[in-house]
Amino acid sequence: MSHIAGPKSALITTVNVIPIIDVSLVLVIILLVTAPMMTVADLPVDLPQARTREAEDERNVSVTLGANGTLAIDDVIVPPEDLRRALSARLAAPGYEDVLVVVRADSGAPYASIEKLLGEARAAGAVHLAIATRQKVEAAR
């Protein structure tokens, strides 16, 4: 018997990683789908609806109360006795009739000062008021 000379078949010397990648991707997808289900308690809760005015209207008026009692409307410092007049003039400007007035107070400011500031803003004609806060970030467990 004679052998017919032909191309010699090459040996496979590399590892086929495609099945490993397929299995890994399936596991990642399963993890992504099930992870949110494990972090939420299994209690029926009817969550309240909320909407943010920041997305609707970028013309917010900011009233800032510093730790030392300094007041500012947007970036203009005003004396406390002129706050109502200055804020009223700002809200009467064209295009600022129905804007959100955001009160930004230092965390060390007394509550009575913030309450007085909110009252002054209402008296100046502010219809929509909000208090700016910093979002609390939970520490990793």
CATH architecture assignment, domain 53-131: 2-Layer Sandwich (3.30)
Task: Give yes or no for residue 55 having a pLDDT over 50.
Answer: no
**What is the rounded average pLDDT for all residues in the chain?**
78
Which ranges constitute the DSSP H helices of the chain?
18-39, 53-56, 83-92, 111-123
Structure tokens at 61: 């008026």
Give 56's pLDDT tier (boundaries 50, 70, 90).
very low
* Structure confidence by residue, pLDDT tens digits, 66-119: 878 888 888 888 898 888 999 898 888 887 778 888 888 888 888 888 889 899
pLDDT at 98: 80
The average pLDDT across 12-17 equals: 84
Structure tokens at 123: 């008296």
68-89 burial: b if 16+ Cβ within 10 Å, else e:
eeebbbeeeebeeeebbebbee
